[in-house]
Chain A
């Protein structure tokens, strides 16, 4: 069942520098209980997309158009009180920087139990008990005595866990995790990702995971959307994205991952940087960095299409890419090849399971 459907979402920020279209004509959907990854470089519009879902875009930003259907109801048309009942309750968010997300003048336990009291109507004692359980569940040692600690008394990893506990406190149907592990070291990252995955399985929560780490996506996501300069450039299942990427940007991202045993002298990178969103290149925004770009790439914006048929993609389609190759406009085509080395990880996983 489709839990969330985003159609033609456009978000702009009216800054002094100019009008920044942070999210441009974005459509996607998330099914109940699935883990959906949103990948892209910094400034691709990933976090703005997430904040739009919770209607947390502030001045000078505004949601220009589109609809966000959560269980069939448009969040953008809800009243402020209706959104408040959804926010934190049905849709919860794990913010990027836990230290900033936590209020320094309230104890961690109090901040979590406030949400429980507000949304679930628990009394003080019941909310406290549930908070202690949650803190324990996310791996805070000695949760009972840490309930009254302030955020500065927690380590970075513990703060992140506290924010996860807060997000899970009301059993949300959708959990938006905005780079939940960026500020953490790899061992803590692995633990927290496992926890998010376990908790999502346990509570049957759908997760929208925003990250720029493709390793994280491979580990826990089922479907992925790659964003570039505020627009989706590729949507695929995680297997298709890794074994059969269709967009040159995705290919660039893949080839820039360092691998153990790699014989290359230098790591392959994507030349250049993400364009300034007040001055996005015409046509395909990726064309100045694309090794396969032709003249038409600067003159025509590629629509998101099914790479096999070239038909326009909708929010319901699982496989789509935005490159003129798939609309038949590129003369020389895309000249890349994907080789899979080593054992098939899926086969390995099955063996592990056995």
Chain B
């Protein structure tokens, strides 16, 4: 079957918009992709993978009145042009915290001790949205409002010494009295 690319129909005018001709000798399909994730897991050392990941935490405003919900955006980005994998110490790959309380909970956590691999495609940007309701969980069934003042909102990839490895970020937010 004759394809439109092979006709002269597209050769008339504006060269800039003319589709490119098909390559005469296309690559075999199997060569087009390599198992980048698995390869990077074996070839990219952990220290390099840690340097690839950039963590950012943002809130739309720097202060909120008491009783309002604070939207939190956590962005994890692979700055490298190849896939990287980070080995985390628990199945929870990352988390956010308020003044060191994970997910604004002061109840001690019990997470399974099982390593997981957090993978990022080349240049991949993962964005997560959370809301801090201005409350701290103080027991399995109770929450308490945060006093007015300054609070640190942070996020980290769940590895040992995340801050030292550059896998954590923080921002501050002020809770104003009503």
Known contacts A279-B130, A299-B143, A301-B140: does B91 contact A14 (CB below 8 Å)? Answer: yes
Tell me the chain B residues, 91-132 only, with Cβ under 8 Å from chain A.
91-93, 95, 112, 116, 118, 126, 128, 130-131
Q: Does B142 have its Cβ within 8 Å of any Cβ on chain A?
A: yes
Which B residues fall within an 8 A CB radius of A? 91-93, 95, 112, 116, 118, 126, 128, 130-131, 133, 135, 137, 140-145
28 A-B pairs with C-beta separation under 8 A: A14-B91, A14-B92, A16-B118, A17-B128, A18-B92, A18-B130, A19-B92, A60-B91, A62-B91, A62-B112, A279-B130, A279-B131, A281-B133, A282-B133, A282-B135, A282-B137, A282-B143, A283-B143, A298-B133, A298-B135, A298-B143, A299-B135, A299-B142, A299-B143, A299-B145, A300-B142, A301-B140, A301-B142
Tell me, yes or no, whether A303 is within 8 Å of chain B by CB.
yes
> Please, which residues of chain B bring their CB within 8 A of the CB of A281?
133
Chain A residues in the interface with B (C-beta under 8 A): 14, 16-19, 60, 62, 64, 279, 281-283, 298-301, 303
Q: Given A279-B131, A281-B133, A299-B135: A14 and B93 within 8 A (CB)?
A: yes
How far is the CB of B85 from the nearest CB of chain A, in Å?
13
Contact in complex: A14, B116 (CB < 8 Å): yes
A17 vs B112: C-alpha distance when bound (angstroms) = 17
Which residues of chain B come closer than 8 Å to A300, judged between CB atoms?
141-143
A353 to B135, CA, bound (A): 57
Does more than half of chain B's interface fall in helix, strand or loop, or is it mixed? strand
With A14-B92, A16-B118, A282-B143 already in contact, 16 other A-B pairs whose C-beta atoms are closer than 8 Å = A14-B116, A16-B93, A16-B126, A18-B92, A18-B128, A60-B91, A64-B112, A281-B133, A282-B133, A282-B137, A298-B133, A298-B143, A299-B144, A301-B140, A301-B141, A303-B141
Shortest distance from the beta carbon of A54 to any chain B beta carbon, whole Å: 21
CA distance A283 to B141 in the complex (A): 7
Closest 6 CB pairs of A and B: A14-B91, A301-B141, A282-B143, A299-B143, A282-B135, A19-B92
Q: How far is the CB of A311 from chain B (nearest CB, A)?
A: 16
Q: Interface centre among B93, B112, B118, by most A CB within 10 Å?
A: B93
| Chain B residue nearest to A14 in the complex (CB) | B91
* Interface SS, A side: loop
Residues of B within 8 A of A279 (CB): 130-131
In the complex formed, the residue of B with least CB distance to A281 is: B133
* Complex CA–CA separation, A279 to B131 (angstroms): 7
* A263 to B107 Cα, complex, angstroms: 50
Q: Which residues of A contact B145 (CB under 8 A)?
A: 299
Residues of A within 8 A of B95 (CB): 18
> How far, in Å, is B149 (CB) from chain A's closest CB?
19
- Distance in Å from the Cβ of B136 to the closest Cβ of chain A? 9
In the bound complex, residues from chain B placing their C-beta under 8 Å from that of A14 are 91-93, 116
Q: CB-CB < 8 A to B92: which residues of A? A: 14, 18-19
A25: nearest chain-B partner, CB-CB: B140
- What is the chain A residue whose CB lies nearest that of B145? A299
Residues of B within 8 A of A18 (CB): 92, 95, 128, 130
A313 to B137, CA, bound (A): 23
B105 CB to nearest chain A CB (Å): 9
